Amino acid sequence: MTGQRVTQEPRCTFVSVATCAYSGATLLAFLLGSHPEIATVGEMDGLIPSEDPEQYRCSCGERIRDCDFWVRVAAGMSRRGFSFDVAHFDLRFSAPVSRIIRYIRMGSTGVRLIDSLRDSVFFKLPSERRRTAALAARNLAFIQTVLEVTGKRIFVDTSKGPFRLPALARFTSADLRAIHLIRDVRGVVASRIRHGTTLPVRKMARQWVTSNRRIQGMLRGLFRDRYLTVRYEDLC
């Protein structure tokens, strides 16, 4: 794949639920998924490594390998020139190995021009540009395939990574939108403790602040007025 923007199919709408963990993204995706024009598979990064794809059950009740939906997704991806296996979606935009580079790439100044210049510097590196462009094309093909299979118009994703939206913005023609979902820090900390987190409460609170500031900066830089903020407590 080259770094050219992918425009062969009708423009699709992609909505990212940008949030930190334990903030209610699953609930919001469930609510949005009930809309007749919205499709979602939750987090589009695929199964977590600890899950056995041979035994894992789809939400429909079938083994994921036997599920008609995923069989049709694999066929649709193949028609678009991509192999697809439910055990390995191969859609994840991984973080750079270097801690310093990872910090620079994951952060956001909240100023669109500065963030764009930073990304342009990284994408001047031929290997980085080729890798990201190819992965963006694969992501777009997956989104288009799911919309085709479901007959829906809007795709909603709840993945937590910071790289997908900037990559799709640079290398595809998708209509990108976002929802910044914020849950009260006390609820997030309580949920993390219930799930076994042993970090000090102060550190978890700092992580919550850092994560939400990063998300807000990224969305302001990318979208300006094409995103909205939703508070978890307003949903429940």
Q: Which fold has domain 13-46+91-235?
A: Rossmann fold (3.40.50)
Task: Encode pLDDT of 88-97 as tens digits.
Answer: 899 998 765 5
What 3-state DSSP class applies to 101?
Answer: helix
Mean pLDDT taken over the chain: 88
> Going by C-beta distance under 8 Å and a sequence separation of 6 or more, which residues neighbour residue 96?
102, 105
Ranges of CATH 3.40.50.300 domains, the chain: 13-46+91-235
pLDDT at 122: 74
Task: Encode pLDDT of 211-224 as tens digits.
Answer: 998 898 889 888 87
Task: Encode pLDDT of 69-79 as tens digits.
Answer: 999 999 999 99
Average pLDDT over residues 12-31: 95
pTM to 2 decimals?
A: 0.85
pLDDT at 2: 42
Average pLDDT over residues 138-146: 97
Average pLDDT over residues 192-210: 95
pLDDT at 109: 58
